[in-house]
Amino acid sequence: MSNKKLNEALHLFQNGQFQKGKEILIKLNRKIRDNCDILYNLGMAHSELNELKSAGKMLKQCISIDPNYSNAYVALGMVYFKKEENRDAEHYFERALIVEPENPYANKNLGSLYAEQDKIEKAIDCYTKALKYIPNDFQLHYGIGLAFKLDSNNQQAQLHFEKVIEIAPNSPIADKAKKEINELAQVVTKPIRKEIVAFCKNALKLFDELGVEKMQKIVAEIAILGNSGLKYEKKYSIESLTGSFTGLELVAYMYVGLQEIAPNEDSGVDFSAEYQEALNTYNGV
């Protein structure tokens, strides 16, 4: 009976029905005390529903009964990761690997933690270990693709992004992978445009002099102007800047401003190579 109910809950989890599955496991936990499989999956359900306090309680109870239940350490690490308590998250991922050195989910999630902390080499190492055991995990391929991209290993990055599309062609992550591949192609084929580098450098200097508040106003004005369609060769004037500027120059100013105030905002253009060169020159790198 208990196995039947547990399997019923797990089936609901597979279909994304975590609330219904949780309700079954709560009743089962009242009838069968100290069952690690029930406690672990109940903790997972609470975690998926973002009920992190209850998730932690269930998973710690599981570990207290069976200190070798490695996936419970992984799940507990994810609870702390969601709470942005990274030191505790790392501790539990590492505990899982002490109990089960090849646990792929511990390595996968530890890799994600390292990537978030910009420890890219460590992230790639963990992801690579995980891939040996879960080679068709498309989320893992996407994560290691991003890590290789940050490590400037574009060839490896593309291979993993392509693997995402192969494994899960209709998933939202596949769409992200396609976008990443397109960006990598631009990096490889697009020469750095010196004119845009000069515009970006001018913008860096100007924004340093004016400060954040005036920079935000300039960016907002250019964005409004851009909504009506900026022509790169045409000259424009805006209230916050003295003089006239080409459309291309204004777009470069907006791009630089967004990198300072909202780096994840889509500016609609990719001046990343030019911006980076301007930044290096401006900072004397």
Per-residue model confidence as pLDDT tens digits over 78-109 = 999 999 999 999 999 999 999 999 999 999 99
Res 99: pLDDT: 96
CA pair distance 184, 140, nearest whole angstrom: 19
Query: What does the pLDDT read at residue 63?
Result: 97
Q: Say if residues 43 and 58 touch (Cβ distance below 8 Å).
A: yes
What is the per-residue pLDDT for 187? 60
pLDDT one-digit tens code per residue, 229-269: 777 888 999 998 889 999 899 999 999 999 988 887 777 77
Q: Is the pLDDT of residue 132 over 90?
A: yes
Radius of gyration of the chain (CA): 25
Per-residue pLDDT of 33-86, as tens digits, reads 999 999 999 999 999 999 999 999 999 999 999 999 999 999 999 999 999 999
Q: Which amino acid is at 66?
A: D
| pLDDT computed for residue 155 by the predictor | 85
What does DSSP assign to residue 88? Answer: H
Question: Which superfamily does CATH assign the domain made up of 118-189 to?
Answer: Tetratricopeptide repeat domain (1.25.40.10)
Mean local confidence (pLDDT), 131-160: 93
Are the folds of 1-101 and 118-189 the same?
Answer: yes
For residues 23 and 262, what is the distance between their CA atoms, to the nearest angstrom?
42
Per DSSP, the three-state class of 221 is helix
- Tens-place pLDDT, residues 155-186: 899 999 999 999 999 999 999 999 998 888 76
- Tell me 191's DSSP state: P
**111: its two tokens:** 């890799």
Q: How far apart are CA 245 and CA 250, in angstroms?
A: 6
How is the chain split into domains, by residue range? 1-101, 118-189, 194-282
The model's confidence at residue 112, banded by pLDDT at 50, 70 and 90, is very high
Q: Distance (Å, rounded) from C-alpha 276 to C-alpha 26?
A: 54
Q: What CATH homologous superfamily does 1-101 map to?
A: Tetratricopeptide repeat domain (1.25.40.10)
Give the residue from 56, 2, 11, 65 showing the smallest Cα distance to 36. 65
pLDDT of residue 72: 97
Contact 30, 38 (CB under 8 A): no
pTM of the predicted model as reported, rounded to 2 decimal places: 0.64
Per DSSP, the three-state class of 203 is helix
Beta bridge partners of 236: 245
Residue 285: its pLDDT value, please? 52
